[in-house]
Structure 1
Amino acid sequence: MQKRWVDRYKADTNKVETLASALNINKVLATLLIQRGVDDFDQARNFFRPRLEHLHDPFLMKDMERAIGRIERAIGMKENILIYGDYDVDGTTSVAVLFSFLNRFYNHIGYYIPDRYKEGYGISTQGIDYAAQNNYSLIIALDCGIKSIDKVEYARTKGIDFIIGDHHTPGNELPQAVAVLDPKRKDCDYPYKELSGCGIAFKIIQAFAKINQLEDITVYQYLDLVAVSIASDIVPITGENRVLAYYGLKKLNNNPCFGLKALIDLATKSSDLSLTDVIFQIGPRINAAGRIDHAKDAVKLLIAKSSEEAKTCCGLIDIQNMQRKDFDARITAEALEQIQANEHLMQRKTTVVYQEDWHKGVIGIVASRLTEKYYRPTIVLTKSNGHVAGSARSVAGFDLYEALSECSDLLDQFGGHKYAAGLTMKVENVIALQKRFEEVVAQSIDPELLEPEISIDAEIKLVDITAKFFRVLQQFAPFGPENNAPVFIARNLYTVGAAALVGVNHLKMTLTQEGAGIFDSIGFGLGEFLPLINKGIPFDACFSIEENVWRDKRSLQLNLKGIRLGS
């Protein structure tokens, strides 16, 4: 599929030159820093050298004093405390962090994860009834609850207090909980608004440790779990998240908890995990528990107290993940067959597919795969508990939530954000939704948004790609949303010798540019350009820069994202 190249490398020339001079770095690197809001020496020092001391005081968060006060009162009165969390990676890591920390000092504590299929997302009546039946008088909800006004009120009738620790956008009314911890509250002055749900759990234990004068290590030992949540929940890698991710990855690579160590040993051979590795290797396995069976299995793994216990739990998670892969592959194939067998569906600006026997736990993954394939707003629907459940995914720049709002009369309920949403509806409305969603999107989407884009951060000459340049570039990591690995463009390139196909459709070649050295390059899925490249025509390429290791030899390599005729 053809991709649009979008140049995002415009920056104030004077600022670039001033910063490059102050830091004694290449102007390209200075441009990248300014794009990230870094425009003086002190900001650059903090960016390149994140420090745990840069983390904000947890008591700057609205209601934190009330939350810690209620937890301490519960401990003092020997009340039973229930840690409640969502069934995804962010929710299960949140529960693991707070449960493991408090359980070191206090035994009257348990945890609860709702069943994805029987209870659905968020705080459930069944979960509150479980707490009442087991004499829990305080529930701490993590990664959910900010809109659970009726559920918190129901808990009050049972004599149960709530502390809400969420990171989603609140509605117009807040739950009447003892404390509502959410940086996105309009009346919360906490300096950083983009923490993950597990990040909120971390701030709670940080506050508890501060009040009780505990050593920092009692808190920082959970940063590996925080990093996994940051990666998997796709939150911005800026500000406090960048500090937490930076040190969390260090912990993950050097001394992970037993559960994560078992997952790493099972999932990857990499000796230096990045956030991307976590997203594709670790996160899906944790998520598989809640998709296939019950997410409490993931929590059991993440709170394991020995390598033997962790290996046992990990074995179950691995089986669930293999089942998830099987469902994923089968349903994706069936969905593609539906689309390809119908010329009308092929020509649409949206994808809405339905089959009643598809597994609800993987339809979100399938929706993402179909979006990648056809690059258009997508909804995948299946039957669940007598209703139709759906997962929706969007393309960059298009507000999916707004489009679903235009279809709300056909839906029982829906929720989510600009790029991902969930919904439920009646079976008889499926055909009407297919028609309405197509009409809404076709009338409102910019045709350009139906082409995937390559966002280019800076133009560079190959001669400027040196060992020093790459050393500084590596210090931009960890990479993720709002701090993605930079993509560069270089113009008028030539091959040295002949380009060749490797694997299924990958382009391998050696590139040069006038006045520059040579670089090995790999273009995954770019085999279609082989005839052009071997004709000796100059071309432009956009790429990221990476280190290739082969037989203990290290060299810089260009990972090509796109190729086009020279401009």
Structure 2
Amino acid sequence: MRISQPIDSRPELIEPDVIPPQSNWRDLDPHPLVAAILYRRGLRTAADVAAFMEPARQPTPDPYRIPNMQDAVERVVLAVQREERIGIFGDYDADGITSTTILTLALRSSLVPDRVIPRLPDRTEGYGLNDTAIEEFRDAGVSLVIAVDCGSTDHQSAAVIAGQGMDLVILDHHHMRDDGPPTAITVSPQLGDDPAWHVLTAAGVTWLLVAAMAARGIAVTDGDPADASSLLDLVALGTVADVAPLTGANRNLVARGIERMRTAPRTGVAALIEAAGLKSSSISATNLSFALAPRINAAGRMGSPRLTFDLLTTDSPVEARRLAQELEQVNIRRRSRSSQVHAEAWEAIVRQPGWQARPVVAVQHPGWESGLVGAVASRLVEEVRRPVLLFREEDGVLWGSARSVEGINLVETLQSVESLMIRFGGHSLAAGLSLVAGNLPALEAHLADTMRSAGVTVPAPRHLRIDATLPSDYLTLETVRELGRMEPFGRGNEQPVLWVKRAELLRYTVLGQDRSHLKIFARAGNRQVEAIFWGAAERSRDLVGCRTIDLIGRLEINSWNGQERPQMVLDEFRAS
């Protein structure tokens, strides 16, 4: 079921910055288009460009730049030397699963398997440490609990763990309100003041701990015992799936992780790549984001994250293929159910009187899976362009997710009214929360007041920043490959948005089983341009009677039947 968009989705175009004639921009790269984009993205020196363009060649980030890492390494190394039983508590999303996998594989390289007890919660348990898991660790004889991707604000659970006679190390990256639980060693880049490190995910923090252990002589892999780099593919998966910026310390880790996936993927990752219809040699941050990350997350969204964990930890190709196919079926169900929840949420929104004037939209349903509401809220916030709260309702309690727009920091806003909630946590634009249903109106009112105080209008304007005008002579495969040297692309280092001006419109058609996509054929100079605009079939009416067109989007390679040709993936077009 498709629902028409009630809000004009066309963005305001931000034209490329004018480069000062006296600048050194042409010295930044041999290719003029690449050089201009690098300059507009703030790179000014040869050293900056080298670090950006060759992230995998840069030195490994220093683990000890993260506050409290030294204490954590000392405690974990001591536990390994004493052969203590270590419990690892993770999270049900991709970052939590990959963090748990990294630490489990590393510790099992030095300890017998039953000395390392990984524990992943499912969605019914909610986010973060819980009493049941703590009791399980205690009953198993655990003396050290390591919480990954959670715990940095959970003083209550930390106190319970201490009361049970267990030590606690926290490896987290979420927004913090204080220095962390006083009874735990909290390792978090948020405790430092370097923005280049704030971007790290839990997978990155966990890997840096493992790298520091390896430097101390602790075996962390079954191959070269001191080489933690074989675990970087898991860091890349967790970081990209968590939509973390591919800047700062992340850039080195993700680039090296992708290299690892291309050349020597672990058994489970190779099976996952195959199930997604990809080739290891062509893996990039982009297809990690759109093809692998949804599959990794599917298990935790629809059931137990253990399925993904088992896939990532198996050494058996036969078992890996079986698990990858099982995960593929789970992902198919996730897509189908997500579409249904999205349609139901839209219907609930448009039934609200005057919803288009509301600064915040909030809807709930007892039948919605808590593992799906976050992803659906992310779609909705792009469509309604205001904060969205989506909840599963159960026994008078709302469990769900919030997504925000630029200009409103969700976690800081929620923190100022934390008495309204049972639990919350997250980032500036995304948060998970639970609250008594009767508190929802007060929370909506507070978010609305925050919107007004910040001067954020609704619908929040969409902006599309253009990196460069693309001359027709650059509509080539060579240009795509030159731009590819700027990878990995993702949040914070988006694929360059290019502007082809006044192309002659030849024809257009709609594609897809539901005929929801628009394909445009045009000519710029002496080159034909094919452009695909996903989900924009309704925009075909804008092309009626149009003779020339501006195309704004990303230049990619379209491979079909062994042939390659350049293709634009559009973010926008305008009659010209």
2:545 alignment counterpart: 535
Is the Cα–Cα contact under 8 Å of residues 101 and 312 in structure 2 kept in the other structure?
A: yes
Is the Cα–Cα contact under 8 Å of residues 399 and 435 in structure 2 kept in the other structure?
A: yes
> Secondary structure of the residue that 2:507 maps to in structure 1?
coil
Structure 2 CA distance for aligned equivalents of residues 377 and 62 of structure 1:
33
Q: Does 1:219 align with 2:228?
A: yes
Q: Does 1:111 align with 2:121?
A: no
Structure 2 CA distance for aligned equivalents of residues 420 and 134 of structure 1:
35
Most deviating of 230-239 and 149-158: 149-158
- How far residue 444 of structure 1 moved from its aligned partner, in angstroms, is 5.0
2:13 alignment counterpart: 6
1:549 alignment counterpart: 559
Is the Cα–Cα contact under 8 Å of residues 86 and 142 in structure 1 kept in the other structure?
A: yes
CA shift in 2, pair 1:406/1:361, >3 Å? same
Is the Cα–Cα contact under 8 Å of residues 61 and 190 in structure 1 kept in the other structure?
A: no
Find 2:263's aligned residue among 250, 254, 260: 254
- How far residue 441 of structure 1 moved from its aligned partner, in angstroms, is 4.0
Most deviating of 462-471 and 156-165: 462-471
2:132 alignment counterpart: 126
What amino acid is aligned across from residue 151 of structure 1 in structure 2? Answer: S
- How many residues matched? 560
Structure 2 CA distance for aligned equivalents of residues 260 and 425 of structure 1:
38
Structure 1 CA distance for aligned equivalents of residues 553 and 267 of structure 2:
37
Find 1:415's aligned residue among 418, 425, 436: 425
CA shift in 2, pair 1:415/1:50, >3 Å? closer
What amino acid is aligned across from residue 508 of structure 1 in structure 2? Answer: K
Find 2:307's aligned residue among 297, 307, 314: 297
- How far residue 511 of structure 1 moved from its aligned partner, in angstroms, is 2.9
Is the Cα–Cα contact under 8 Å of residues 391 and 420 in structure 1 kept in the other structure?
A: yes
Structure 2 CA distance for aligned equivalents of residues 153 and 64 of structure 1:
21
Is the Cα–Cα contact under 8 Å of residues 459 and 489 in structure 1 kept in the other structure?
A: yes
> Secondary structure of the residue that 1:13 maps to in structure 2?
coil
Find 1:86's aligned residue among 91, 94, 114: 91
- How far residue 564 of structure 1 moved from its aligned partner, in angstroms, is 1.8
What amino acid is aligned across from residue 113 of structure 1 in structure 2? Answer: L
> Secondary structure of the residue that 1:558 maps to in structure 2?
strand
- How far residue 546 of structure 1 moved from its aligned partner, in angstroms, is 0.9
1:9-20 paired onto structure 2 within 5 Å:
9-10=16-17, 12-14=19-21, 17-20=23-26
- How far residue 88 of structure 1 moved from its aligned partner, in angstroms, is 1.0
Is the Cα–Cα contact under 8 Å of residues 529 and 563 in structure 1 kept in the other structure?
A: no
1:110-141: per-residue Cα shift (whole Å, max 9, x none)?
A: 111234323x2122232222211111101122
Structure 1: stretches of 5+ with no match in the other structure: none
Most deviating of 532-541 and 544-553: 532-541
Is the Cα–Cα contact under 8 Å of residues 403 and 441 in structure 1 kept in the other structure?
A: no
1:161 alignment counterpart: 167
1:57 alignment counterpart: 62
- TM-score (structure 1 length as normaliser): 0.89
Structure 1 CA distance for aligned equivalents of residues 453 and 547 of structure 2:
41
1:361-510 paired onto structure 2 within 5 Å:
361-384=371-394, 386-401=396-411, 404=414, 410-430=420-440, 433=443, 437=447, 441=451, 444-447=454-457, 450-495=460-505, 497-503=506-512, 504-510=515-521
Structure 2 CA distance for aligned equivalents of residues 267 and 92 of structure 1:
19
- How far residue 535 of structure 1 moved from its aligned partner, in angstroms, is 3.3
What amino acid is aligned across from residue 170 of structure 1 in structure 2? Answer: M
Structure 2 CA distance for aligned equivalents of residues 431 and 471 of structure 1:
52
Is the Cα–Cα contact under 8 Å of residues 146 and 175 in structure 1 kept in the other structure?
A: yes
Most deviating of 55-64 and 479-488: 55-64
1:284-363 paired onto structure 2 within 5 Å:
284-363=294-373
CA shift in 2, pair 1:4/1:143, >3 Å? same
Structure 1 CA distance for aligned equivalents of residues 573 and 250 of structure 2:
34
Structure 1 CA distance for aligned equivalents of residues 334 and 389 of structure 2:
19
1:267 alignment counterpart: 276
CA shift in 2, pair 1:221/1:11, >3 Å? farther
CA shift in 2, pair 1:551/1:193, >3 Å? same
Find 1:46's aligned residue among 15, 27, 51: 51
Q: Does 1:558 align with 2:568?
A: yes
Structure 1 CA distance for aligned equivalents of residues 478 and 246 of structure 2:
24
Is the Cα–Cα contact under 8 Å of residues 61 and 189 in structure 1 kept in the other structure?
A: no
Structure 2 CA distance for aligned equivalents of residues 169 and 531 of structure 1:
45
CA shift in 2, pair 1:561/1:353, >3 Å? same
Is the Cα–Cα contact under 8 Å of residues 12 and 461 in structure 2 kept in the other structure?
A: no
- How far residue 393 of structure 1 moved from its aligned partner, in angstroms, is 1.2
Q: Does 1:179 align with 2:189?
A: no
- How far residue 445 of structure 1 moved from its aligned partner, in angstroms, is 4.9
Structure 2: stretches of 5+ with no match in the other structure: 1-7
- TM-score (structure 2 length as normaliser): 0.88
> Secondary structure of the residue that 1:508 maps to in structure 2?
strand
> Secondary structure of the residue that 1:547 maps to in structure 2?
strand
1:148 alignment counterpart: 154
Is the Cα–Cα contact under 8 Å of residues 411 and 423 in structure 1 kept in the other structure?
A: yes
- How far residue 225 of structure 1 moved from its aligned partner, in angstroms, is 0.8
What amino acid is aligned across from residue 118 of structure 2 in structure 1? Answer: Y
Structure 1 CA distance for aligned equivalents of residues 81 and 415 of structure 2:
48
- How far residue 185 of structure 1 moved from its aligned partner, in angstroms, is 1.1
Structure 2 CA distance for aligned equivalents of residues 60 and 398 of structure 1:
29
User: Percent identity at matched positions?
Assistant: 28
Q: Does 1:68 align with 2:73?
A: yes
Most deviating of 175-184 and 235-244: 175-184
